[in-house]
A and B are shown apart, each in its own frame.
Chain A
C-alpha cells in the first residue's frame, strides 16, 4: 500500500473521465432528469440534450444523426451489429456467412461463435499475419464466397496494429457484404470518418476516450438491414430499447468532441511517450519483443512479449510500485491461459503467456515513463533471478 508514485499505464483498458466531460454531464443527473421519451418540459430538455449529442457525434463521424444508435458499451454495439445483421439475413433467406478474424475483441468472437452455433450458419475466421493484421488476399477469398457481414477490428486491443479499413471495406462492398468494425480502441485517437473508412457499422465506447463507462454507440449506415437485439419501447429507431442515459450520452459526445479538437496534440503526446516506452523496454528487458506493427499502430499503445517471464508476477511487482499495466493473459486466478490473439499472430504458447501491454494517456509524463522503465527493468531482473533458482 502507498507506493511512492502512481503511474497508470493502462489507458487501453479505461481512461479517467475528463473534468470538462464531467462538467458537461453534471446538469443531467439532478437538474435535467426527465425521461427523454416524455412529452413534458423535463422530457423535452432530456431529448434535446440527446439529439444535440447525436448531431455533434454525427458531425465527427461524417454521417447523419439518424445513423447513430446509442448503446451501453462497446460490447453491446458489437452484439447489435452482428446479431442484427445475421438475424436479418437469416430471416430474409439471404447469405448468412459470418466473416471475421481470430484477433477480435471477445464481444465479436463470442457473438460470432454463438450465432454460428444457434442459427447453424457458417463462420469464417480469416487468417492474420504476425502483426495481427488481416491477410487481404485471404479476406478477399472469403468475401468472394459471400456472406451477411464481415467484422474486422480497427485497432487491435492487444497488439495495437491498425487494419486498413478502407481497403477491406471496399472488398466487402464489392461482394455485397456488410462491413462492421470494432473501433473501440481507435475511438478518440484515429479518424472515425465513416465515408473515408467505407464502413457500414462501427462500434465505439466512451470510456476509452475520457468519457464515462456504461455508454457506447453503434454507427449503422442508412439502409443496412438490421434487426434490433434489445426489444422494448422502440427507442433508437427500434434498434435499442431502454431509457436513454442522458448524462452519459452527453458525456460521450463531449469527450469525442474534445478528442477530435485536440487530436493532433494528443497524438503527438501519445506517440512521443509510446516510443520512449518501446525504446526503453527493448533496451532494459533482455529478449523483449515488440508485438504488433512497429509503425502502423495506435499512438498510445505499446505491447511486448517478455520471453520466459511470469507476466502476472511482473504485474504484481509493478502494482506494488504503483504502476498499472496489463497482459493479454492477465489472470486473477494464477492459472494463466496463453493469449488467443498472440497465438493467432503465430507466437508459440510459451510466448503467448508472456504478453505485456503498456498504454499511455493525456496525464502521462516523461518522468512517469522513466520511473516505469526503471521499475520494470528491475522487476524483470528479479523475476529472472527467481526463476533461475528453480530451473
Chain B
C-alpha cells in the first residue's frame, strides 16, 4: 500500500502555513515527510542567536505538529550553503548599493534547489511549502505559476524565480485557501501555531533589524558619504548607504524646506541622492537576469501588471524587450519606490509570467555631474 503513495517532503517552519500544508497533504493521501532547515546560527551575536524560523521554539512547534500528524520529521544542517548563497547575496547586494531580496535567492538556491535535491534523494516525488501560490498546467505540458486564492497573502512574487523543473516538483497546498481558512484548519487540528502572528522580517536577522545585521557582518558598509541633491547641493553626511532604501523619508537627518526622500544611491561615490516627492516617481524600470516561468520569452511588447516589491500592488505597464535579454516595464503611471535589487514580477491577472531584478538607474553620470557642481 505504501509503495503507490506519492512521497512529499514538506518544508516546515513551525508556523501555521507549513503546518497546515503538511496536514492537507496527509489528508490527501500522500506519504508526508517533514523537514526543517537549520539555516543560520549567528556567530557574530555570540552563537546563541538563531534565525527567526529555526529558533528552538519554532523547531519544537514543527516537531509537535509532525508528531501529531504521525509523520517523520528531520532538521537538516543547511548553514554552510545558506551562508555561501543567501547571506552573501544579501551583503553583496547592499555593497553594490542595491536593496536585495534574499527570499528570492533562498527560494531559488536553497528551498527549490538544495532542499529539493535532498528531498529527491530521499525518494520524494514532490516538495511542498506553505506558500500562498498555485501551480497549474497550461494544457501543453507546461507548469504555470498562479497567485494564491488569498490575493492579500499571495506569495507568487518570491516564487517567480522558479523554472519548469522546479515547479513540476512543487506543491503549494495552501494556495487554494485564504489565510483565515488556514488558521481555522490549524485551530481545528489543535496546532499551537494557529494563533501565532505572521513572521515579517527576513528570517536570518533574528531580533535585529537588517541595518544592525549589516553593521556586524559587513562593517565596510558603514562607510560615510555625502547626502546630495540632483543639483549637486551637499546637504549633509550619512553613515552608510545600506542604512537607506529608495523612497525612505524618515531618518535622513538633514533639514530642508521640503520633505526629502531617498531617490537613489551611487556606491562608487558613496553618495546618497535625495530630492523632493515630485522627483521620486519613475515611469519605467529595466529588469535583468529575467526568469520566464514558461522558460520561453513571451512575444513583446505586451500589456501586463508589474509588482515592484513583495508588498506592492501590481501596476499596469507595457513590457518591452531590452538588448540584453531582459525587459523594460513602462508604467501607465509613475511609480514611487522602484528599488534596484528588488524583483519586478510580471503578471497577467492571476498568472505570474516571471520576473527579473530591477537594474540600477543610470544615475552615475547624473551624480558625477552634480558632485562636480557642488561647492567645496
Contacts and interface: CB of A to CB of B under 8 A. Distances in A.
Contacts of A145: none
A320 B33 contact: yes
Interface string A333-352: 11110000000000000000
Contacts, number: 61
B79 A335 contact: yes
B33 A390 contact: no
A195 B214 CA distance: 65
B197 to A, nearest CB: 24
Contacts of B72: 1, 319-320
Given A310-B77, A333-B56, A334-B38, A316 B71 contact: no
A363 B375 CA distance: 88
Interface of B: 1-2, 31, 33, 36-38, 41, 54, 56, 59, 63, 70-72, 74-79, 81, 114, 117-118, 121-123
A223 interface: no
Nearest to A310: B77
Given A1-B2, A1-B71, A316-B74, A334 B37 contact: yes
A320 B2 contact: no
21 contacts: A1-B31, A1-B72, A2-B1, A310-B77, A313-B76, A316-B76, A316-B122, A317-B121, A320-B122, A331-B75, A332-B63, A334-B76, A334-B78, A334-B79, A335-B38, A335-B41, A336-B77, A386-B117, A386-B118, A386-B121, A389-B117
B81 A390 contact: yes
A383 interface: yes
Given A1-B2, A1-B31, A389-B117, A334 B122 contact: no
Nearest to A315: B74
Residue among A2, A331, A383, A390 with the highest chain B CB neighbour number at 10 A: A390
Contact of A1 (B70, B75, B78, B81): B70
A382 interface: yes
Interface string A213-256: 00000000000000000000000000000000000000000000
Contact of B36 (A334, A336, A385, A390): A334
Contacts of B121: 317, 382-383, 385-386
For the residues of B in contact with A, the DSSP-based class is mixed
A316 to B, nearest CB: 4
Given A317-B121, A334-B54, A382-B121, 20 more contacts: A1-B2, A1-B31, A2-B1, A2-B2, A2-B31, A4-B2, A310-B77, A312-B75, A313-B77, A316-B74, A316-B76, A319-B72, A319-B74, A320-B123, A332-B59, A334-B37, A334-B76, A334-B77, A336-B77, A390-B81
B117 A333 contact: no
A334 B75 CA distance: 5
Nearest to A2: B2
A10 B74 CA distance: 18
A370 to B, nearest CB: 20
Contacts of A332: 59, 63, 75
Interface string A292-334: 0000000000000000001011001101100000000001111
Contacts of B114: 390
Contacts of A1: 2, 31, 70-72
Contacts of B31: 1-2
B125 to A, nearest CB: 14
Contacts of A382: 121
B2 A333 contact: no
Sorted nearest first, the 10 A-B pairs with minimum C-beta distance are A334-B38, A334-B75, A2-B2, A316-B74, A334-B77, A382-B121, A335-B38, A390-B81, A386-B117, A335-B41
Nearest to A312: B77
